[in-house]
Every structure is written in C-alpha cells, then in structure tokens.
Structure 1
Amino acid sequence: MAAPARVPRRLWSVPFRAGDAVRDGLLTRAMLRGPTWVRLLQDVYVHGDAYRPDDHRMWCEAVALRLPPGAAVAGRSAAWLFGVDLLTRDEPVTVLLPTTARLRPHPRLSIVRSPLPDEDRTRFAGLPVTTTLRTAFDLGRHSPRVEAVVAVDALLRRRVVEPAALRAYAAERPGWPGSALLREVLKLAEPSSESPMETRLRLLLLDAGLGPLTAQHEVRHGGRFVARVDLAWPALRVAVEYDGDQHRERAQFRRDVARLNALRSAGWIVLRFTADDVLRRPEATVALVHQALVERRRITARPR
C-alpha cells in the first residue's frame, strides 16, 4: 500500500499558490497532480480535506491569491466577509479591478471594472477588500432596485456603515453610474429592517401605494409594552409580519401564539406572510393588506 502523501502544516487548510509551494520545496508538481490536492484556479490549490465547493471564504482566499495590484474583493463577497450574507447558492466571488488591470476569467469569478482609488481599498479578515463605504456604494447603485435596497438595508442593520456617512460618500460622487438609483435607494433604506425578506415585503407594500408605514414599531397598550411588529400603520392598528422558517419551531410557535393573542387584545389586526406570499403571490398579499387598511379606515371614520 502506498504511503499517504506528506502534507506540510502550512498547507493543511487554506488555498495556496502552487508556484510558491514548489519554490519553497514543500511540494513537487508531480505531487500536485495526485488525489491529495484540488486545483481551484490557475496555480492555486487546496488540500482535498479542506475543499468545500460551496465555501465562499475558501473561494475568496483563492481569488485573493490571483488578484493583481490595486484590485479587491468587492460587492456581495465583500459584504459577506463583513458579516452580511447576501449570497445566492454557488455565487462567484466578485472582484473589482482597476480599469488597466488584467485577470483571467473563471466560472467562480465575477469581474467588475471600475476606478478603485487606494482610499477605497482595505484589508479585512486577511484579504484585500473594498472598504465598507465603497461596498455599500457599489451594491446600492446596481439594479435590480429591490436587491439594491435589500443590500443597503442589511449593511445598515449590521452597522457596517452609517446612513449619514453613506449619503455623504454618495454625494461626493454624483456622476458615477447608478447614482440616480442610489439616491432612490437611500430614501427607501430602513436600518431597522431585520431581514432581506422583510425589506422585500416592505417595498412590495410601498410600491402598491400602501404607505406610509412604520418599520419595527413598538406596540403599547395601557402604558405597557405588548410587542414589536415588523411593519405597522399605528393610527389604524394594523400590523404586517414576515414569518421565516424559524417560526416553524415548536417553541417559537408557542411564543407567536401568545404574542398574537396579546396584540389582538390590544386591538390590533396582524397579517402574517411567508416568502411564498411575497415572491409568488404578491398581488394577493397586497390585496389582503389593502382590505385590512380599508376596513380599519371605515371603523375609525364612523361617528361616535
């Protein structure tokens, strides 16, 4: 039986440049052709035990090894490194290249060319990335509009950037592509939004003309706190909630029942929606909310 391949300690768990490993005498080209190693990019390998096809951090590390000077991980990949997960399944690593830089295309790479001054680049988690402000600026000025608002909401919620700082940064760059969209996004941004689907639900209702509404409203009754609701029309005592998968857990379900009973006792109508309602049945969702608002307006308009 052949002896297992010797694995240098520094190559156990992270991607590495094959040329560097060969030059330093850690491996040979023949060893790299064996089953122990997985080729990720040109001249970039990782140990087979550390290879995870859907590990975005691994791909960011691999891509960083190939970046030319002045380039950086950017967009949703940078946001993910900052702790804001906006990624889709198997999403490629977004990189921002200065206009004169070159990088070989790859299916796991999404290359964006744009001016990238030194002040818009930093290092985070050991990798070259666009700064938090540049990341938010880029995500907020690229369509589709809903996804741009989702991204900015998430970054503001995580406090990766502050609203005033992002507005000032955008105001200093009025002629950049997508600036008009970014101005609209900043008007719609809601730092208190707790999830991407909550943002999508809020925009669905606003676009249907059902605003203004309040996000993360605290309901009080008789001077006591009752609950905080995702979206609300406080004067009409109507609330809309987005229910994610966590609401299917038994303990959460019990808390939800008690909470809804308390809101009903305080005189509130609460409508609850899922991702299917927002993404696949938007017209029906809007109709239900509109009906609840109309009914409450009739009640409040009655003479007493």
Structure 2
Amino acid sequence: MGGAAERREVRQAGAMARPPRVPAQLAFLPFSARAAVAKGLVTRSMLRGPAWRRLLPDIYVHRDGYREDDHRMWCDAAALSLPSGAAIGGLSAAYLWGVHLLPRDAPVTVLVPGVTRPRPRLRVRYTLAKLSPGDVTRFGGLPVTTPLRTAFDLGRRPPRTEAVVAVDALLNRRLVKRAALTDYLAARPGWPGVPLLREVLGLAEPLSESPMETRLRLLLVDAGLPVPTAQYDVYDGRGRFLGRVDLAYPRLRIALEYEGDHHRERAHFRHDVARLNDLRAAGWAILRFTADDVLRHPARLVAQVAQAVRERLPSPGHQMR
C-alpha cells in the first residue's frame, strides 16, 4: 500500500511541476494581450508569470520567442499597435528587405501620417511623414515602406556617408533602380533632405558590395583622389581571368581591397593569397585595408593610396580617368 501511495505522490508532483501548455498561436511571436485574453488563450494573471515577457503596452511574447537583439521580433511587436495608416520605415524597413545596417539595440522606425506623433515607446521611434498608398506594402504580414520609398527616406537622412551606404546597399540588392529613385525624387522637389539625396545619387555605386567598401570609396573621393572603379575584373596579357577586386584604378593597375571578417576563413584566405599573387605577378599594386583603417585612420589610408597613385603616374601632366 505504501508503495502505491508513494507512486501517486510522485505522479501528482510531476503533474504539478509541468509548465502549463502554451497555445500554438502564442508560442513564439509577439501578440496582443487584449486579443489573446478575449479569445481565452491566456489570462491576465498568467501573463504576470515568468513564462511571458512584456515588450510594449499590451504586447507580450513567450519567453521562448524572446530575443533581446532580434529586430524582427521588435518589428512584429510594434506592428501590433501601429496607428492608422502607419508603416515600418527607415532602417527597420531596409532590415526587413534584407539590408542590415542597424546598430545594436536600434529602435524600430515607424512612419506615422498626420500631425500628431504618438507617445514614444521603448524600442520604437515614431516619425511624422507623408505616406501615400503606393508608398506602403506588406512584408511578412507587416505594413512596411516599399524599397523605393525606403531608399528615398534613407538617402535624405544625414550624415551623407551613411545615406550613400544605405542607397548603395538597396541598389546592389536590386531592390531599387537608380532611374526609379531619380524619378521619385524629381516628383518631390520640396521635401526635406532632397538636396542631400541629389548628392547621394551622384555618388551612389550599385556595384558596391558592402558598407565598408562604400565608406572606403567615399574617403578617396572626398580627399580629391580619382573615383575608383568598383568590382573590377582583372585579366592578364593573355586574357586569363585573375580575379575581381573591390576597387581599382585600372590604368595605373592599382587594386584596393577591403578585408572583412570573411577573409579570415581558411578557404577564403587561401583563395585570396593565390589571387593576390597572380595580380602582383601581372604588375598590379595591391593595397589592403581593414575597418580599423577606414574608421580610425582615414588620413593614413588616403595618404597611402595617394602615394601609390603618384608612384604610378607616367608623368606629372598625366590625367587619370
């Protein structure tokens, strides 16, 4: 008898220790507490327990779906309480379109039509903006500015370098065409930031494959050096393909390479060594730069490139194009 009683107690204790079942609709994605309670999926008292995380007023997520730095989770949460006609925009819209330029802990950018900005929320930044129906679409169920409107907004926002970085990235991923963005801009001449976007379009390079390549190119241009050619294919005298370089001055046979973290992978490193040896054998000068060079030592970087250009100019009167 004693053994049977003990087994019952163990079963009862196990049942009490099991966490409550989480409805499938609430397992991973943010949800409106008001709506979930109305449907009988959860109670207010349950939401006060450790299994749930409050993201925004009335918006919760189960602890298994909570990721502090998951911008998509915060976009999902913000979308559940958007004002009428509002949409996710700016760098948050770019993120949803696959262009990741957000700093860590960046708030969700929400564009709100009208004249009254909602109260600010933790991890959500509201911005008043004109939004026509054609400026907004849906992505993964979320209202988001179209790639064209996203490029228009980011290209008007200083600083200039970051505006060019954003437009380059959207052009490179073929989310936007330069001609379409030019036409969109021409139809809105009086909007704030339009002069900056005009300058950005003059500097934009659809072939730029990373933000750091864009920053490197702008450093050279701003220093008065010739505009380098992006993603240049190099061939030897027999027409054999030697490799593609990030930036180049083809007539001077100078290649400029940005070394990101992917270059440290063993297979990529070996390929780079062979490629750079072939380029040097073909008479190319190779200058390699890191994020530290671009961000912390720009003057030294420019001086090194300028010295390489001077050394390779055939004569003082030579005009390089």
**Is TM-score (shorter-chain normalized) higher than 0.5?**
yes
One-letter amino acid of the counterpart of residue 125, structure 1 = G
One-letter amino acid of the counterpart of residue 13, structure 1 = F
Structure 2 CA distance for aligned equivalents of residues 20 and 104 of structure 1: 22
Contact 2:169 2:208 in 1 (8 A): yes
Which stretch of structure 1 is more off in the superposition, 249-258 or 292-301? Answer: 292-301
Q: For residues 247-258 of structure 1, what are the structure 2 equivalents within 5 Å? A: 247-258=263-274
Higher Rg of the two aligned structures: 2
- Structure 1 unaligned spans of 5+: none
Q: What does the per-residue CA deviation read over 1:41-81, in whole Å, with 9 as the maximum and x for residues that have no partner?
A: 00000001111001111100000001011000001110111
Structure 2 CA distance for aligned equivalents of residues 186 and 229 of structure 1: 23
Aligned partner of 1:211 among 226, 237, 247: 226
Contact 1:229 1:240 in 2 (8 A): yes
Q: Does 1:87 align with 2:102?
A: yes
- Structure 2 unaligned spans of 5+: 1-15
Structure 1 CA distance for aligned equivalents of residues 99 and 317 of structure 2: 44
Q: For residues 1-304 of structure 1, what are the structure 2 equivalents within 5 Å? A: 1-100=16-115, 102-222=117-237, 223-298=239-314
SS in 1 for 2:215: helix
TM-superposed CA distance for 1:102, in Å, is: 4.6
One-letter amino acid of the counterpart of residue 52, structure 2 = W
Q: What does the per-residue CA deviation read over 1:19-41, in whole Å, with 9 as the maximum and x for residues that have no partner?
A: 00111111111111111110000
Pick closer, same or farther for the CA change 1:297–1:143 going to 2, 3 Å: same
Contact 1:67 1:103 in 2 (8 A): no
TM-score by length of 1: 0.96
TM-superposed CA distance for 1:104, in Å, is: 3.0
What is the alpha-carbon root mean square deviation over aligned residues? 1.5
One-letter amino acid of the counterpart of residue 102, structure 2 = L
Pick closer, same or farther for the CA change 1:125–1:291 going to 2, 3 Å: same
Structure 2 CA distance for aligned equivalents of residues 249 and 96 of structure 1: 40
TM-superposed CA distance for 1:18, in Å, is: 0.2
Structure 2 CA distance for aligned equivalents of residues 9 and 101 of structure 1: 37
Structure 1 CA distance for aligned equivalents of residues 161 and 115 of structure 2: 32
Contact 2:151 2:176 in 1 (8 A): yes
Q: Tell me the number of residue pairs that the alignment of Structure 1 and Structure 2 aligns.
A: 302
Structure 2 CA distance for aligned equivalents of residues 2 and 228 of structure 1: 60
Contact 1:76 1:86 in 2 (8 A): yes
Structure 2 CA distance for aligned equivalents of residues 191 and 221 of structure 1: 26
Q: What does the per-residue CA deviation read over 1:84-132, in whole Å, with 9 as the maximum and x for residues that have no partner?
A: 1111111111110112355331120121111111111111111000111
Identity within the alignment, %: 66
Contact 1:5 1:36 in 2 (8 A): no
TM-superposed CA distance for 1:5, in Å, is: 2.2
